[in-house]
């Protein structure tokens, strides 16, 4: 089967894929340009680069898997899987880009605690501590589905999940140090990524 089926003589679906890719990457480039305030307490420990690297490494592995393991092609219903993948991909993008402005200037690619940092509990932050990361994971799931290969579905999201497993404890430790018991209380009444599960 070779490379993802969508790229074989399906120009409309290819255009949909490219447009979704652009809707994903362009806002991420804008967000990545944010910088912490000069007096912010920085505690990133390289986690920004781990996350960014995991996204692109996962994408690379997705394409490689689709190209080199054609036996794991999803089969006759690949168009349905592709369409669902686009929907999940867009859903993840929208949820992530909805979550980020709610945090406002407190959201930065680097782990950094502003001098006047406060806990935000509006929108999804009422239940989740890291909703933008959930959106990122959903986007990777959707991207993987558009590869229409079972292995390519797993590798991108697994790479990003591993990166978040590294970053989230660093971020939460920094927030506990910066905000004290209030953030510890917030942690006890919210979930990290998935309500009622994690």
Q: Is residue 21 domain-resident?
A: yes
* CA–CA dist 136, 33 (Å, integer): 17
CB 162, CB 154: distance < 8 Å: no
> What local confidence, expressed as pLDDT, does residue 6 receive?
65
Question: What does DSSP assign to residue 32?
Answer: H
Q: Is residue 197 domain-resident?
A: no
Q: Is residue 125 domain-resident?
A: yes
Task: Tally Cβ neighbours within 10 Å of residue 153.
Answer: 25
Q: Is residue 193 domain-resident?
A: no
Instruction: Give, for all 198 residues of the chain, the pLDDT tens digit.
Output: 445 666 767 889 899 999 999 999 999 999 988 888 777 888 899 999 999 999 999 999 999 999 899 889 998 899 999 999 999 999 999 999 999 999 998 999 999 998 889 999 999 999 999 999 999 999 999 999 999 999 999 999 999 999 999 999 999 999 999 999 999 999 999 999 998 898
Q: Is residue 53 domain-resident?
A: yes
The total of structural domains in the chain comes to 1
> What local confidence, expressed as pLDDT, does residue 75 receive?
86
Q: Is residue 196 domain-resident?
A: no
* CA–CA dist 137, 153 (Å, integer): 12
pTM: 0.91
What is the residue range of 83's domain?
Answer: 5-188
Q: How many CA atoms lie within 13 A of 14 on its CB side?
A: 9
What are the angstrom distances between the C-alpha of 63 and each of 15, 34, 90, 127, 188? 17, 30, 19, 35, 40
Q: Is residue 58 domain-resident?
A: yes
Q: Is residue 90 domain-resident?
A: yes
* CA–CA dist 164, 52 (Å, integer): 10
Query: Can you count the helices (H) and strands (E) in the chain?
Result: 6, 2
- Give the CATH number of the domain where residue 131 resides: 1.20.120.1630
């Amino acid at each position: 089967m070779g490379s993802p089926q969508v790229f074989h003589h399906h120009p409309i679906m290819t255009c949909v894929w490219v447009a979704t890719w652009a809707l994903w990457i362009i806002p991420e480039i804008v967000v990545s340009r944010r910088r912490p305030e000069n007096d912010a307490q920085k505690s990133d420990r390289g986690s920004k680069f781990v996350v960014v690297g995991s996204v692109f490494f996962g994408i690379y592995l997705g394409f490689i898997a689709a190209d080199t393991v054609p036996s794991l092609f999803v089969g006759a219903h690949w168009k349905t899987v592709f369409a669902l993948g686009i929907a999940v991909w867009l859903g993840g993008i929208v949820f992530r880009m909805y979550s980020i402005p709610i945090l406002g200037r407190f959201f930065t690619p680097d782990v950094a605690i502003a001098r006047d940092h406060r806990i935000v509990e509006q929108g999804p932050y009422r239940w989740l501590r890291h909703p933008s990361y959930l959106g990122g994971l959903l986007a990777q799931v959707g991207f993987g589905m558009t590869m229409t290969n079972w292995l390519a579905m797993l590798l991108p999201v697994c790479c990003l999940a591993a990166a978040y497993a590294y970053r989230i404890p660093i971020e939460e430790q920094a927030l506990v140090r910066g905000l004290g018991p209030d953030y510890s209380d917030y942690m006890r009444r919210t979930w990290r990524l998935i309500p009622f599960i994690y």
